[in-house]
Every structure is written in structure tokens, then in C-alpha cells.
Structure 1
Amino acid sequence: MSEITNFKGEAVTAKPENAADLEVEALIRSVGDRVRKARDLKGMPRRVVSELSGVSPRYLAQLEAGEGNISIGLLLRVAIALDLRIEWLVGGEDPWSSDVLRVADLFRSAPAGTREKVLELLSPEPPEAMRARRICLIGLRGAGKSTLGAMAGAKMGVPFVELNREIEDHSGMPVNEVMALYGQEGYRRLESQAVERVIAMHDTMILAVAGGIVADPDTYNLLLSRFHTIWVKASPDEHMSRVRAQGDTRPMAGNPEAMEQLKVILRSREALYERAHAQLDTSGRAPEESLERLLALIEDKGFLT
């Protein structure tokens, strides 16, 4: 018999009844060993892992001792805090063999182009298979990404995720507070981690991302390789009017040059947006009409087949 922790954090005694129970206990011990070993190798105190993951130090101690029957959601948080993929904590291969660690470190520090080539060499799947049934809507704010993504997801029965909402849920604070606390660089790091999380969690989905994500080469290349990307665009006038119609007057408040700045941003990112696998122009169209065009584009391109 062994003592484990249930979902309420209460200690209960469990008695193995069959081979499956024994395998579960062995898996719990293995996960605990790997979490402890990863933390030791990275020189991270349990307190730091707790702060990064949101899992209490007491629960982490139980997990490492093989006494905590942790949920998938909490284990994913621990894996992210340790900068590991969750499958490394539960898989059969030892993720800390010298070769695996060296390859992982080299890959993490390599330029985006090199990482793409490595993925092409290591993956027997064609690019379309790596993108699975994931769709990502990119483009400037006000183009209609969130509106159309939510409508299309509801119409097709596909999960819709806004990346900024995922960042807020994970960090426990609004994006503007994230920016104020961590700065642009910190926000980009959280943005990249959020993309990796949704890839791990969804093979079928529609994702809407912030307009500036294309300025981060590594994160944008990850989107292009793991999502069927669609550039949702509109005229500068419509971008601005839609943002103001949502009740946000910040783009124009006290800044008579806001429209010209918007045009400059659009021109500077145009070449990046054009790398998307498809484009959808929403200029002069009602949301319902743009939705029909989006659904037709998805079907024609076979993004969900």
C-alpha cells in the first residue's frame, strides 16, 4: 500500500489491486524521479519551480517522492517550468542521456533556419502533416481575426483559442500588465511558450495571434511549420475604425499621426504576412460574408482534412 494525494490535496491510502495499479504506481514514481532529476540538473530550487509552475512546494515534494498522483494539467505546468516537453516526463526514453541533452541544447540555441532544417531531416512527415488540422489567423489588430476565428470555430465545431487569452490565463494577469512587468522581450518569451503549449494540446484548432508575432523569427517560423496560416487583412482605414468601434480610442487619442503610423507598420510587416499559406481580405465586408469566404478558403485548401 502507498499514500497518494487526491485532487483535493488530501492524503489517502491506496492498495494496488492488479497489475494495472502496479504500473500506475511505477509511472508515478518514474515521473517523480524525472522531475527531481531535471530540477537538480538545471540547478533549480523547488521554490523556483513552484513559483514558475504555480504548483505548491509541498505538492512538488510529494510528486518527487512518488506520492503525488498529479493531474495532466499540473504536470504540464511543471514541464513548462523545467523547460521540458511533458512527454519527456512520462515517456519511456531517458530524456537526460548525454546525447539527448546535447542535441536539445544545440537545437534550442540554433538559428531559426538551422532548426527548420533539423526538423526537416528528423521528421519523416511532410510539412502538411506537421501542421495537422491547426489553423492560425495572423494580421494586424482590427482585421477580424478574433471575430472570424470564434465564428468559424463555432460553425465547424473546432476549438478556438486567442493566444493573448492563453497568455493571460497562464500568467494570471492581463497582457498589458505582462508588458509592464516583463517588457516586450518577456512578453515575446511568454508568447512563444504559449504557442508551444497550444501545439501540444491541440491537433485540431483555430488560433488567433497578436499582429506583432511575425516580428519574432523563431515563433513565427514555428507557427508556419505547425499551423496552416491565414493572413486576415483589411484596409488601414478599416483597421482603425474597427478598433475604435470596439470602444478602444487609444490608437487615435492625442496622436494625429496614428493613421500614418498604422500604414508604416502595415508596410513594414507586409512581406512577413505574405509568408502565410493563404490570405483573406475582409475590407468592405460584413462579418457574415467574411465568414463564408473563410470557410470556403479552409475547405478549398484542405486545412481541416
Structure 2
Amino acid sequence: MQICLVGYMTAGKSTLGELLAQKMELPFADLDQRIADEAQISVHEYIRTKGELSFRKLEREVLHRELGAENVLALGGGTPCYYDNMDVALEQSFVVYLQWSIRTLVSRIENELSSRPLFDGVNKSDLPEFVAKHVFDRRPYYEKAHHIVFCDGKTEEQICAEIRTACKKHQV
């Protein structure tokens, strides 16, 4: 069984993915980390030096290799929105969308602005509007997921429990 976690940046895909994997006694993998390992530089640096198009091509190649494994796999925030990535993930794994309010995402992103290349040049006062538009653009891809978890107001334990219940319900 493979569970893919999707959602906007800072949605907790990696943090929740590690906890979920532990609870389900599965390995955990982070797509961005796999890409960084292969490229031998951070995703942030890769995008800055080689551009987003080059990154998205490499991301697709690595994703296709990773799909179908027995694990919990955290995808990058934009991964589902490019090429056929979401459709292939839906065919080969159980996809869960970690959905948060714009307010929560903005408050999390504010703490990580310097490490997020997408926000280079975005004024902090424009962040809520920028994030809202970006999430709006990505939502059609995210909402294709087999299951959506509305995360605001829930603990990590509650979110993991909901995902585990959804897996059982969908006989994953």
C-alpha cells in the first residue's frame, strides 16, 4: 500500500507523513528529498539555479520511479499540478489532500519565507492574497484526491487517525 500526501506548502505533508508512516508501520519518503538526493543540491537551490521547468521535469521522473512503493510518500506542493502527475498518483496510490485555511497556511509560511523560492520578491503584506490565489489555482488538482482532510482545529494524531480510517474505508 502507498499513501501519497498532497497539499499546499507548509500543509505538513512531511511531518504528518512521518507520523502516519510510523503508525501504519510503513516506510516514509519525501519526494523533494529524493529529488535533492538525486540532484545533489536542495530543491530551493535547484529551482534558483536551473529554473522551475527543469525542476518539474526531474520531479516527474522521480515521482514515476517512487509511485507504487509500499510507503507513505509526501509530494511537493506543486507536484500534482504538472504533467499527468496527479492522475498517475491516483492510479498507483491512495492520495490524501491535507487542506488548511488560507489564514493557517499564511501564518506557517511567514515563518519560512526565506526557504521558499516561490515567495522570492513577494511582499509580506501581499502574502495572504498571493497564497489565496495560488491555492485557488491548485485546488482543482488537490481536490481530485481520494480523500480530503480538513485539518484546521485538528491535532496531528486526529489527522492521522482520519487518514487511517479513510484507508480502511477505501480498502487500501
When normalised by structure 2's length, the TM-score is: 0.88
Q: Is the 8 A contact 1:142 1:238 kept in 2?
A: no
* 1:260-279 → structure 2 map (5 Å cutoff): 260-279=129-148
* 1:170-249 → structure 2 map (5 Å cutoff): 170-199=38-67, 202=69, 204-244=70-110, 247-249=111-113
Match of 2:30 among 146, 162, 177: 162
Deviation at 1:302, TM superposition (A): 1.8
> Which residue of structure 2 lines up, in the alignment, with residue 291 of structure 1?
160
Q: Distance in 1 between matches of 2:10 and 2:168?
A: 24
Q: Distance in 1 between matches of 2:106 and 2:25?
A: 31
Q: What SS does the aligned partner of 2:4 have?
A: strand
Task: Give the aligned CA root-mean-square deviation in angstroms.
Answer: 1.8
Match of 1:153 among 2, 8, 21: 21
Q: Is the 8 A contact 2:102 2:128 kept in 1?
A: yes
Structure 1: which 4+ aligned runs deviate by more than 6 Å? none
Deviation at 1:253, TM superposition (A): 7.2
The one-letter amino acid of 1:209's match is L
Q: Is the 8 A contact 1:167 1:190 kept in 2?
A: yes
Q: Is the 8 A contact 1:232 1:279 kept in 2?
A: yes
Q: Distance in 2 between matches of 1:240 and 1:288?
A: 22
Match of 1:282 among 135, 151, 162: 151
Deviation at 1:275, TM superposition (A): 1.1
Q: Distance in 2 between matches of 1:187 and 1:219?
A: 14
- Aligned-residue identity in percent: 25
Q: Distance in 2 between matches of 1:256 and 1:196?
A: 38
Q: What SS does the aligned partner of 2:71 have?
A: strand
Distance 1:261-1:253 versus aligned 2 partners, 3 A rule: closer
Q: Which has the higher contact order (CA 8 A, sep 6+)?
A: 2
Q: What SS does the aligned partner of 1:211 have?
A: coil
> Which structure's CA Rg is the greater one?
1
Which string of whole-angstrom CA distances, capped at 9 and with x for unpartnered residues, describes residues 196-218 of structure 1? 22136x2x111111111122132
Q: Is the 8 A contact 1:136 1:209 kept in 2?
A: yes
Q: What SS does the aligned partner of 1:232 have?
A: strand
Q: Distance in 1 between matches of 2:15 and 2:88?
A: 24
Q: Is the 8 A contact 2:67 2:89 kept in 1?
A: no
When normalised by structure 1's length, the TM-score is: 0.52
Match of 2:5 among 109, 114, 137: 137
The one-letter amino acid of 1:269's match is R
Stretches of structure 1 lacking an aligned partner (at least 5 in a row): 1-132
Deviation at 1:267, TM superposition (A): 1.2
Q: Is the 8 A contact 2:17 2:72 kept in 1?
A: yes
Q: Distance in 2 between matches of 1:177 and 1:144?
A: 21
